[in-house]
């Protein structure tokens, strides 16, 4: 069972206050728990993630997910923004970790909400998409959590092959924009 953080029993895994250890946390709002003893509040806010639309000639670079969620499906390179990073810094780091590519240009394209199931909890994210250019595609080498990658002509993109809902929507939006 996947626990969705926006559903009524969203905080059921949290039985004790992380500050004082008291049981019986209150749920005063749809995205928080609060300790009645020490007044500690824990908020379930959206996590920021980045996705790269790396273009070269008439193709888009797509990856294959090595791990769940959606292992084996197509994806766009990217990942979560770390504390202290800007979205562009996260984008550059993720692209280098996943593909050994150096981003030379990143233009904001759009943002989309997403649900990211992991470890039995469905997290909410905000995916920030960028259209990117890279320095040298000859250094392309799948790594980190990427099982493989390939270039696909934009007109041949099949959104149904992508495993995450926000990425499917992003691919459709990009394909439609390019097809004009």
Rounded distance between C-alpha atoms, residue 80 and residue 19, angstroms: 26
pTM: 0.86
Rounded distance between C-alpha atoms, residue 130 and residue 174, angstroms: 10
Per-residue pLDDT reduced to its tens digit, 19-37: 999 998 888 887 888 999 9
Q: What integer pLDDT is reported at residue 173 of this predicted model?
A: 96
Residue owning tokens 């928080």: 32
User: Which residues lie below 8 Å from residue 124, measured CB to CB, with a gap of 6+?
Assistant: 5, 6, 44, 46, 47, 113, 114, 115, 116
Q: What integer pLDDT is reported at residue 33 of this predicted model?
A: 86
Q: What integer pLDDT is reported at residue 127 of this predicted model?
A: 96
Per-residue pLDDT reduced to its tens digit, 93-118: 999 999 999 999 999 999 999 988 88
Domains by residue range for the chain, with CATH: 1-44 (no CATH), 47-179 (3.90.79.10)
Rounded distance between C-alpha atoms, residue 139 and residue 48, angstroms: 28
Which parts of the chain register pLDDT below 50? 1-5, 8-11
Q: What integer pLDDT is reported at residue 158 of this predicted model?
A: 95
Q: What integer pLDDT is reported at residue 106 of this predicted model?
A: 97
Sequence-ordered strand ranges (E) for 14-102: 26-29, 32-34, 41-43, 47-56, 59-65, 74-75, 78-80
């Amino acid at each position: 069972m996947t626990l969705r953080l926006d559903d009524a029993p969203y905080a059921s895994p949290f039985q004790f206050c992380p500050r004082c250890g008291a049981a019986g946390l209150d749920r005063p709002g749809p995205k928080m728990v609060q300790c009645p003893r020490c007044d500690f509040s824990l908020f379930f806010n959206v996590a920021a993630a980045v996705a790269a639309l790396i273009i070269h000639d008439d193709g888009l670079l797509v990856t294959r997910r090595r791990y769940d969620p959606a292992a084996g499906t197509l994806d766009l390179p990217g990942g979560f923004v770390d504390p202290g990073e800007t979205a562009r810094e996260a984008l550059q780091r993720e692209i280098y970790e996943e593909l050994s590519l150096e981003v030379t240009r990143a233009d904001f394209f759009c943002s989309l909400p997403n649900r990211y199931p992991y470890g039995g909890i469905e997290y909410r994210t905000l995916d920030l998409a960028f259209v990117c250019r890279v320095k040298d595609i000859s250094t392309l080498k799948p790594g980190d959590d990427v099982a493989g990658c390939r270039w696909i002509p934009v007109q041949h993109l099949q959104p149904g092959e992508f495993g995450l809902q926000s990425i499917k929507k992003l691919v459709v939006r990009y394909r439609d924009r390019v097809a004009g």
